[in-house]
Amino acid sequence: MFSGRFDHAIDDKGRVSIPARFREVLQREGHDRLYITNFILDRERLLELYPPNEWAKVVAKFSGSRATDREAQLFETFYIGGAHEVPVDRQGRILVPPRLREFARLGREVTFSAKHNRFELWDKETLERVLSMAEEGLQNPEFLAKINI
pLDDT along the chain (149 residues), means of 10: 96 97 94 97 96 94 72 89 96 97 98 96 97 85 76
Which pLDDT belongs to residue 95? 98
E strand or H helix at 135: helix 124-138
DSSP at 14: S
SS3 content of the chain, % helix, strand, coil (to 5): 40, 30, 30
Which pLDDT belongs to residue 71? 84
Q: Which CATH architecture has domain 5-124?
A: 3-Layer(aba) Sandwich (3.40)
Q: How is the chain split into domains, by residue range?
A: 5-124
Residue 73: phi and psi, rounded to 5, are -65, -45
Which pLDDT belongs to residue 93? 97
Which pLDDT belongs to residue 48? 98
DSSP string over 15-43: EEEPPHHHHHHHHHTT--EEEEEEEEETT
Which pLDDT belongs to residue 22? 96
Quick check: 89 and 13 in contact, CB under 8 A?
no
Which pLDDT belongs to residue 31? 95
